[in-house]
Structure 1
C-alpha cells in the first residue's frame, strides 16, 4: 500500500488525464522541446506543507499544493481559446469529484497565471501555471 501523498499525486494525475484526454500528461518532467498537438500538462508534486496535527487519535492533515503547468496546443490565431479548452475541463472534473475517488477530503484549484511560452517551435503557445490543492490525512507523515 502506498502513502497518502502518493495516492493524492496519482489521483491528481488521473484527474488531469481524464480532463484532457488528448493532451500529454507528465509528472515531474521538464517542458517538452515542442508542444504536443493536444497540449501538454506537467504535474509537479509540490509541497505538502506543515500538517495540522490532531493528537487523539494521532492524525496529520496536509493541505498539499500540487503545481500544474499547462501548455496549450500550437495555434497562433486562437491560442487563448485552445488553452481554455484544457483548463475548463480540469475545473469541471474537480467540481465533479472533490475527493479524488475517496483519496482526499477536499480538492480545489487556484486561478491560473497565463502567459505566452516559446519552445523550440516557431510560434508561441499559451501556457498557464496553477495549483491543485488537495487536503488529505494520514496517521504517519511517511505513509
Structure 2
C-alpha cells in the first residue's frame, strides 16, 4: 500500500506528464540524450520537519520536491522558457493535486548553462515544488 507521500509524488509526476512531448522521469539518472522538447526529472526532495497538531493527531508537511529541467540544442533558451511556462500552467490548473494536497506551488528556477564536450551545451535548473499536506503518521 503506497504511503501518502508516495501517492502525492506519483500524482505530481502524472500532472507533469500532461505537458506534451516532454518526458517526465522519476528519480532517474540523466540519460545520454536529451529530447528536443526537453526533459523533466522529479526527485523526491525533502519532506522537512512537520508541524504537529494533537486533536486529532496530524503531521503537517511542507515537502520540498525537486524538479530538474534539462534542455539542449540551438534554441535552448526559448525551449527552457516555454517549458517553465508549461510547468507553471499545469500546476496552476490543479493546486491541490485533485485534493491530495492542501496546496502546491513552484519556486523560481535558477538556471545554469552546462558545457558538454563535443556536443551542444545544456541549460538546466532545479525548480523546487512545495507540497503542503497532512498525514496521521509521519512515515505515511
TM norm structure 1: 0.91
Partner of 2:53: 54
Give the CA deviation at 1:142: 1.7
Task: Summarize the alignment of residues 58-137 of structure 1 with structure 2, pairs less than 5 Å apart.
Answer: 58-72=57-71, 74-76=72-74, 78-119=75-116, 122-137=119-134
Worse overlay, 125-134 or 63-72: 125-134
Worse overlay, 6-15 or 51-60: 6-15
What is the root-mean-square deviation in Å for CA atoms of aligned residues? Answer: 1.4
Partner of 2:7: 7
Worse overlay, 123-132 or 113-122: 113-122
In 1, distance between residues paired with 2:115 and 2:97?
33
Task: Quickly say closer, same or farther: Cα 1:121–1:22, change in 2 above 3 A.
Answer: farther
Following TM superposition, the consecutive aligned residue runs of length 4 or more in structure 1 with deviations greater than 3 angstroms are: 118-121
- Asked if 2 retains the 8 angstrom alpha-carbon contact of 1:34 and 1:121, the reply is no
Residue correspondences, number: 140
Unaligned runs of 5+ in 2: none
1:67-86: CA deviations, max 9, x gaps? 111012x322x211111111
